[in-house]
Amino acid sequence: YDIDFQRNRIRLQKLGWFRVLGLHQLPEECEIANAFLIRKPSGFYVHLTVFVPRSLSNPPDERLQPVGVDLGIKSQVTLSNGLQFSFEVPVSRRIKRLQRILSRKKRGSKNYERIRHLLRREYEKLNNRKRDIHNKILAFLKRYPTVVLQDDPVKCWQEGFFGGKVHSTAIGGLKARLKQNLVTLV
């Protein structure tokens, strides 16, 4: 691969040059380790893995106290300092309509595959919205030096009365990303 930041282009081996959006997000001092071409229902994407020097990353704010995180149904994220985050990304009416249309199509036909492709694109948009909310919460919590997470069995919530609420907030994915990306105490 080869990257031209001035013209927003990237060259992939055996494929040639492509115009790429989002190269401005990379810091100039970063070192590129990998580049993968990924196909999603909405199109092709280049996934870059970069190493950023520690001097460019934002250290946690030492003036802030450690914070505790409680996951819940009424407000999805409650912090020990009183801040609450409530969010929900419900299934759109378009997805429901496409699922009804899909159920009436003959399996294996071109129309069936076309509707399946449209459904995949809609689900990708839904997942992108949930991931964006998770990214914003993670970026906010990275300011704290230590995050203490209450280890709740979210899977049990989904099997009970709150299945739709847990599904529309993707609170289990948020819990996994909190454990993976932050200095957490469980």
pLDDT at 58: 67
pLDDT at 183: 65
Confirm if 139 and 122 have CB atoms less than 8 A apart. no
pLDDT at 122: 95
pLDDT at 42: 87
**pLDDT tens digits, 129-148:** 999 999 999 888 888 888 88
How far apart are the C-alpha atoms of 132 and 12, rounded to whole Å?
28
Structure tokens that stand for 146 in this block: 């230590």
pLDDT at 115: 96
How far apart are the C-alpha atoms of 141 and 147, rounded to whole Å?
7
Tell me what the mean pLDDT of segment 79-91 comes to. Answer: 87
Check residue 108 and give left, alpha or beta (phi > 0: left; psi -120 to 50: alpha).
left
Count the neighbouring beta carbons within 10 Å of the beta carbon of residue 51: 9
For residue 28, give the nearest of 3, 11, 46, 45 by alpha carbon: 3
pLDDT at 28: 76
Three-class secondary structure of residue 76 per DSSP? coil
pLDDT at 80 over 70: yes
**pLDDT tens digits, 26-67:** 877 788 888 788 889 988 888 888 888 777 666 666 677 888
**pLDDT tens digits, 95-120:** 999 999 999 999 999 999 999 999 99
Tell me what the mean pLDDT of segment 81-98 comes to. Answer: 90
For residue 153, give the nearest of 83, 91, 93, 72 by alpha carbon: 72
Count the neighbouring beta carbons within 10 Å of the beta carbon of residue 112: 15
Helical residues (DSSP H) of 142-170, grouped into ranges? 154-159, 163-169
pLDDT at 81: 87
How far apart are the C-alpha atoms of 84 and 99, rounded to whole Å?
34
**pLDDT tens digits, 149-178:** 887 777 777 776 777 777 777 888 888 888
Give this prediction's pTM. 0.75
